[in-house]
A and B are shown apart, each in its own frame.
Chain A
């Protein structure tokens, strides 16, 4: 009798099955998501992979992804409404990139991010970008070459450009939320642009061309005050931002030669140290950036065998770099009045007591902070040659 009961108990387990059981072919794998504000309503876009098109065998040659969209009073509502159109439930677990509309960003992104940080299926390690002069629907509609899934292309090129060029800044959702809630640091988000003809860009024709009619490019860095977009930084300012916030991995920088012409320094390593002080009641910040690099190219006449030349190049680089960083900080202090560098946090770390006094009116204080920038470059090598063959070319 006991055995019988036990057997029935065991068997009954298999009758149920877990509530979240889903087969792979019941999933609509969303890799990119777009959020836009249209007439007081959220419009949500989901770029979903068409698995059979991605596989080598079953491909019929149509596009690898498809875009679903829906409107709703809240992001979550719109998200669920998508099933009106999509035959499968949208699965956001592998979300790679979130594209926010510029208009939405200007009005504030806070509300729309809540769902994304709350839902248990979403991992907050995807990148967030903001459209510039375009809309999420246009960006997500563009087909891409090389990486046939646009979301992958967007993810990889952001990652790659940050690593090799530092002119962009990748921000994941959790980093963004941390910045949004911080007193002493404001958020930034990389901008994304559509270059070219968006009409052709959304069709398969786009990828049949050697140089696509439309392409997705990262440029500019959006500056936030609270959760509202207040302006854009140029590429040069973005690089300066990366140096200050210690997020440069490798980069390349043109400098002028002592006797005219150009040379390039390839930065291999950079470390920045931001230290805050309160001096005589006034907040002050020291930025020390230690850079190591090689001479990448020489397009001018100079004698690299002379150690003095190297030192001179280092000086020039340091001077130019300091100027750019100062200019960037100036722009933010004067124009946007928003502390994206985290100077407030530096001061908080150094002097919590004083910080508590000034943190409520930090916005005004920030504009008056004295910033001392110090850049130290070490040129490690000149590449595989010393003097350029340009020296040998007879005029």
Chain B
């Protein structure tokens, strides 16, 4: 055995030595002085990719200087390439003696400092860096006889503009949503918070996708520990590709198997701005409009940006309504199953008889009946999301007909069950956060099973387990259930009800320890008619 291993090792060594000999020059080294060599290396590395354009030109007084202009078609702004690079090189500087302009006779720096009329430009000697820039959409200029290249940033590609977010819509509030472009997204945040302390750290994650990621926070509000923790978790990622912020979420979240999400995501710049002002940290990922916010608390999934834009009484009522809807969508089918199969004595006689009348001839137990309806609804909902929009109406007719009418008419399902499932489904849509809605969808089935096996006792045990689980969750070190558990009286102003904005003097306690004051505490903060104020002053 040992002998075999030795032999294998030898063979391996042979292979590696062979490979290093065959590929020459090695792209991991710096640039070669020969233009021809560099272009060959590029071609070897990139294969036959048709979107890489290599344009070899000659310029200078007698056309003596050989150069290569390399760019990625589709990612580069072609008009600026033609007007400011090719035209400059090939027409405008033909008559100038370039060598005279530069004392060191370094053509690269002459081109960079004197000739090219473009904004962002830099020298680069590393072959890797040049490749990355090229594939990001920059234009590369290589000169014969120089082991340096110029990287000119003139990226430009087709993209979606800033449109209204589709996931979190509001009646009142800004209509702009994030786009797929990281720069536009950071600009949208910067436009809302023009504070020098708004810091944006950038990272590149994904060994192949090289996705840009920005960590955004307000330096003197956000907790340094959490910023450090975010950086640490992001640095630990070693993966070939990041395609959406969901990938990042999956790699840095606290608990994978919990139905509850410990990272909040949003498409809305105003939500991100509000979160930043509270001390949260935003993680922006290039290529997706969904921005991650950490730490995320349970209560955050019940907060809609509109709560703060609308009048405070209405905001509070809507917040309470959302909690009621949460409980309905979590427990309604379970309670119905429990009451009708175990606790019939809890129903008023008239209701019991009416329910019993509806159940006459229904061939399934209540649990199976509820399960059929819930699963049918989940199928319809999933179909509604995935299928082409144009078939939508057809499906809604079939869905409503199948669920609503036909099943009851056929005597397979009792009418009350349709009502229960419908109210459950509608309540589920009240949730302003898709993540919380999903969690409830999963847990609903667990509670239904518990109710079918043990009645109210089972539901109670399930609720206790659920609360224990929620209290055990942490999001980046912050207890998930705060400010309910651990209880914090001053943070209750934005938990079950929404107090007027002039009462929100402090930022949430757990999130930030260093800069709590949000507005100066003064009597003047409360709006009052001017006469009253005068009276107070004189008396």
- Interface positions of A (Cβ within 8 A of B): 13-14, 16-18, 20-25, 27, 29, 31, 49, 51-52, 54-55, 58, 91, 93-94, 96, 121, 123, 149, 152
Q: List A contacts of B181 (CB < 8 A).
A: none
Q: List A contacts of B354 (CB < 8 A).
A: 51, 54-55
CB pair A58 B357 closer than 8 Å? yes
Nearest-neighbour CB distance to chain A for B208, whole angstroms, equals 34
CB pair A14 B449 closer than 8 Å? yes
Q: List 29 A-B contacts (CB under 8 A).
A: A13-B454, A14-B452, A17-B453, A18-B455, A20-B342, A21-B341, A23-B359, A23-B365, A24-B344, A24-B352, A24-B356, A24-B366, A25-B361, A27-B356, A29-B349, A29-B352, A31-B349, A51-B354, A51-B356, A51-B357, A52-B357, A52-B360, A52-B361, A54-B357, A55-B358, A55-B360, A93-B345, A94-B344, A121-B345
CB pair A18 B453 closer than 8 Å? yes
Tell me, yes or no, whether B340 is within 8 Å of chain A by CB: yes
Residues of chain B in range 333-381 having any CB-CB distance to chain A below 8 Å: 340-342, 344-345, 349, 352-362, 365-366
What residue of chain B has the Cβ atom nearest to residue A31's Cβ?
B349
What residue of chain B has the Cβ atom nearest to residue A52's Cβ?
B360
A49 and B353 in contact, given A14-B453, A24-B359, A24-B366 (Cβ under 8 angstroms): yes
Nearest-neighbour CB distance to chain A for B204, whole angstroms, equals 37
What residue of chain B has the Cβ atom nearest to residue A21's Cβ?
B341
Contact with A along B232-244 (1 / 0, CB 8 A): 0000000000000
Q: List A contacts of B454 (CB < 8 A).
A: 13, 18
Q: List B contacts of A49 (CB < 8 A).
A: 353, 356
Residues of chain B in range 307-353 having any CB-CB distance to chain A below 8 Å: 340-342, 344-345, 349, 352-353
A22 and B341 in contact, given A16-B453, A51-B360, A55-B358 (Cβ under 8 angstroms): yes
A94 and B341 in contact, given A17-B453, A25-B356, A27-B356 (Cβ under 8 angstroms): no
Q: Give A123 to B361 CA distance when docked, in angstroms.
A: 29
Q: Give A58 to B340 CA distance when docked, in angstroms.
A: 20
CB pair B349 A55 closer than 8 Å? no
Q: Give A268 to B455 CA distance when docked, in angstroms.
A: 46
Nearest-neighbour CB distance to chain B for A146, whole angstroms, equals 15
Q: List B contacts of A24 (CB < 8 A).
A: 340-341, 344, 352, 355-356, 359, 366
CB pair B342 A21 closer than 8 Å? yes
CB pair A17 B356 closer than 8 Å? no
CB pair B341 A29 closer than 8 Å? no
What residue of chain A has the Cβ atom nearest to residue B341's Cβ?
A21
Q: Give A205 to B188 CA distance when docked, in angstroms.
A: 80
- Of listed B353, B365, B449, residue having the most chain A CB within 10 A: B353
What residue of chain A has the Cβ atom nearest to residue B350's Cβ?
A152
Q: List A contacts of B349 (CB < 8 A).
A: 29, 31, 94, 96, 152
Q: List B contacts of A58 (CB < 8 A).
A: 357, 360
Q: List A contacts of B342 (CB < 8 A).
A: 18, 20-22
Q: Give A149 to B350 CA distance when docked, in angstroms.
A: 10
Q: How large is the interface on B (under 10, 10 to 19, 20 to 34, 35 or more residues)?
A: 20 to 34
Q: Give A16 to B357 CA distance when docked, in angstroms.
A: 28
Q: List A contacts of B453 (CB < 8 A).
A: 13-14, 16-18
Contact of B340 among A23, A51, A121 (CB under 8 A): A23
Contact with A along B87-116 (1 / 0, CB 8 A): 000000000000000000000000000000
Q: Give A94 to B348 CA distance when docked, in angstroms.
A: 8
Nearest-neighbour CB distance to chain A for B71, whole angstroms, equals 54
Q: Give A25 to B453 CA distance when docked, in angstroms.
A: 18
Q: List B contacts of A23 (CB < 8 A).
A: 340-341, 359, 365-366
- Of listed B354, B356, B362, residue having the most chain A CB within 10 A: B356
Q: List A contacts of B362 (CB < 8 A).
A: 25
Q: List B contacts of A18 (CB < 8 A).
A: 342, 453-455, 457
Nearest-neighbour CB distance to chain A for B275, whole angstroms, equals 36
Nearest-neighbour CB distance to chain B for A33, whole angstroms, equals 14
Q: List B contacts of A25 (CB < 8 A).
A: 356, 359-362
CB pair B353 A54 closer than 8 Å? yes
Q: List A contacts of B355 (CB < 8 A).
A: 24
Q: Give A14 to B457 CA distance when docked, in angstroms.
A: 14
A55 and B357 in contact, given A13-B453, A14-B453 (Cβ under 8 angstroms): yes
Q: Give A12 to B340 CA distance when docked, in angstroms.
A: 23
Nearest-neighbour CB distance to chain A for B360, whole angstroms, equals 4
Contact with A along B427-457 (1 / 0, CB 8 A): 0000000000000000000000100111101
What residue of chain A has the Cβ atom nearest to residue B416's Cβ?
A24
Q: List A contacts of B353 (CB < 8 A).
A: 29, 49, 51, 54, 149
Q: Give A93 to B346 CA distance when docked, in angstroms.
A: 9
Nearest-neighbour CB distance to chain A for B370, whole angstroms, equals 12
Nearest-neighbour CB distance to chain A for B197, whole angstroms, equals 47
Q: List B contacts of A21 (CB < 8 A).
A: 341-342, 452, 455
CB pair A94 B345 closer than 8 Å? yes
Nearest-neighbour CB distance to chain B for A17, whole angstroms, equals 5
What residue of chain B has the Cβ atom nearest to residue A92's Cβ?
B345
Q: List B contacts of A13 (CB < 8 A).
A: 453-454
Given A18-B454, A24-B359, A29-B352, 8 more contacts at CB 8 Å?
A21-B341, A21-B455, A23-B359, A23-B366, A24-B344, A25-B359, A54-B354, A91-B344
CB pair A123 B366 closer than 8 Å? no
Q: Give A55 to B415 CA distance when docked, in angstroms.
A: 12
Nearest-neighbour CB distance to chain B for A95, whole angstroms, equals 9
What residue of chain A has the Cβ atom nearest to residue B348's Cβ?
A94
Q: Give A31 to B352 CA distance when docked, in angstroms.
A: 12
What residue of chain A has the Cβ atom nearest to residue B363's Cβ?
A25
Q: Give A49 to B351 CA distance when docked, in angstroms.
A: 13
Nearest-neighbour CB distance to chain B for A116, whole angstroms, equals 15
Q: Give A51 to B362 CA distance when docked, in angstroms.
A: 13
Q: Give A20 to B355 CA distance when docked, in angstroms.
A: 19
Nearest-neighbour CB distance to chain A for B442, whole angstroms, equals 15
Which 9 pairs show the lowest CB-CB distances between chains A and B? Answer: A55-B357, A51-B357, A93-B345, A51-B356, A94-B349, A52-B360, A24-B356, A24-B359, A25-B359
Q: Give A121 to B362 CA distance when docked, in angstroms.
A: 25
Nearest-neighbour CB distance to chain B for A233, whole angstroms, equals 31
Q: Give A14 to B360 CA distance when docked, in angstroms.
A: 25
Q: List B contacts of A31 (CB < 8 A).
A: 349
Q: Give A339 to B361 CA distance when docked, in angstroms.
A: 54
Q: List A contacts of B360 (CB < 8 A).
A: 25, 51-52, 55, 58
Nearest-neighbour CB distance to chain A for B475, whole angstroms, equals 25
Nearest-neighbour CB distance to chain A for B452, whole angstroms, equals 7
Q: Give A51 to B358 CA distance when docked, in angstroms.
A: 8
Nearest-neighbour CB distance to chain A for B63, whole angstroms, equals 74
Q: Give A20 to B453 CA distance when docked, in angstroms.
A: 10
Q: List B contacts of A17 (CB < 8 A).
A: 452-453
Nearest-neighbour CB distance to chain B for A4, whole angstroms, equals 15
Q: Give A41 to B341 CA distance when docked, in angstroms.
A: 35
Nearest-neighbour CB distance to chain B for A230, whole angstroms, equals 34
Q: List B contacts of A93 (CB < 8 A).
A: 344-345
A27 and B344 in contact, given A13-B453, A94-B352 (Cβ under 8 angstroms): yes
